[in-house]
């Protein structure tokens, strides 16, 4: 499991899914719209299920208000 991950988020998608790209980054489609941090909360929930770690171990390092994010897994 990598320590830092590059992620491209697609908010307000029809269904939530995770797509692994060739360069090792992830493309994640989320159901929630990007309003009031709801998409970031869903992103952390989806990643905690995907990597089977607690939500408290996942931090958004950069891209809090961007579709391109860097996530740190503790």
> Which tokens sit at 46?
């989806």
Q: What CATH number corresponds to the domain at position 36? A: 3.30.1200.10
Domain interval for residue 63: 4-73
Its pTM stands at 0.90
Sign of dihedral through CA atoms 51, 55, 20, 22? negative
Report the domain count for the chain. 1
How many angstroms separate the CA atoms of 7 and 23, rounded?
11
The stretch 40-62 carries a mean pLDDT of: 95
Edge-first strand order for the sheet with 17-20 is 17-20, 26-29, 4-10, 68-73, 58-62
Alpha helices in 1-74 (DSSP H): 38-51
CA distance 5 to 48: 13
Which pLDDT does position 2 carry in this prediction? 65
Per-residue model confidence (pLDDT) at position 74: 86
- The mean of the pLDDT values for the chain is 93
């Amino acid at each position: 499991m990598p320590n830092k991950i590059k992620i491209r988020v697609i908010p307000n998608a029809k269904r939530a899914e995770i797509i692994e790209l060739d360069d090792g980054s992830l493309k994640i489609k989320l159901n929630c719209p990007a309003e009031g941090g709801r998409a970031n909360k869903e992103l952390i929930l989806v990643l905690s299920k995907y990597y089977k770690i607690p939500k408290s171990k996942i931090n958004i390092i950069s891209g809090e208000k961007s579709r391109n994010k860097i996530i740190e897994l503790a």
